[in-house]
């Protein structure tokens, strides 16, 4: 800020031009300060405290720094990740279970109310067995729209070829 004011002093401006220029410190938005966050819902009849969720999956998602979990409603939690990769892990590597109950994680959107978050879909790996060897490749893992679905790493052989014993595409399924 001081550097800009110093540069402004060196300019030769008329008094009218000086009045029209206003320099304000740019306020940092809360979004830059806010850690990556997700909203999670545990599908169970009994009430579960947020610290149970934090201890159960926090060390998996953020092994070094952990997560912080806040109760929003009965079995609905706001999870703040202390490592950036934790959010991707929570969203992409599921489904997650706590005490044999399903935990559905969705990305936090500050413009949605609590009732607008959808906890109706989870991402799962499918294992397709006994396919002809010619169909066990990345091209066979394409969905109906022609988009390639990710193939699980253990479906690839050690040399990196994309044929293997099983074809494992990922798919969204309704809870």
Domains assigned to the chain: 32-119 (3.30.70.330), 120-175 (no CATH)
Q: What is the predicted pLDDT for the residue at 71?
A: 92
Q: What pLDDT score does 41 carry?
A: 92
Of the candidates 68, 1, 65, 66, the one whose C-alpha atom is nearest the C-alpha of residue 28 is: 1
Q: In 10 A of CB 41, how many CB atoms?
A: 21
Can you read off the two tokens belonging to residue 39? 């909203």
Least confident window among 12-21, 106-115, 116-125, 162-171: 162-171
Structure tokens at 127: 């294992």
Are 123 and 170 contacting, i.e. CB atoms less than 8 angstroms apart?
Answer: yes
Is this model's pTM higher than 0.75 or not? no
Q: In whole angstroms, what is the distance from residue 3 CA to residue 6 CA?
A: 5
Residue 151 has pLDDT above 80, yes or no: no
Q: What is the mean pLDDT of residues 150-167?
A: 50
């Amino acid at each position: 800020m001081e550097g800009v004011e110093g540069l402004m002093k060196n300019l030769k401006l008329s008094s009218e031009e000086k009045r029209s220029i206003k320099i304000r410190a740019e306020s940092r938005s809360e979004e830059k300060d806010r850690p990556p966050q997700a909203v999670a819902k545990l599908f169970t009849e009994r009430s579960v405290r947020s610290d149970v969720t934090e201890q159960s999956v926090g060390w998996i998602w953020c092994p070094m720094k952990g997560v912080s979990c806040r109760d929003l409603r009965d079995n609905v939690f706001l999870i703040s990740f202390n490592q950036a990769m934790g959010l991707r892990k929570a969203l992409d590597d599921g489904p997650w279970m706590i005490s044999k109950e399903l935990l559905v994680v969705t990305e936090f959107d500050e413009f949605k109310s609590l009732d607008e978050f959808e906890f109706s879909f989870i991402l799962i790996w499918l294992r397709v067995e006994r396919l002809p060897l010619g169909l066990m490749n990345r091209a066979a893992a394409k969905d109906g729209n022609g988009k390639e679905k990710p193939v699980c790493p253990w479906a690839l052989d050690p040399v990196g070829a994309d044929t293997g014993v099983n074809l494992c595409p990922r798919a969204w399924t309704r809870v």
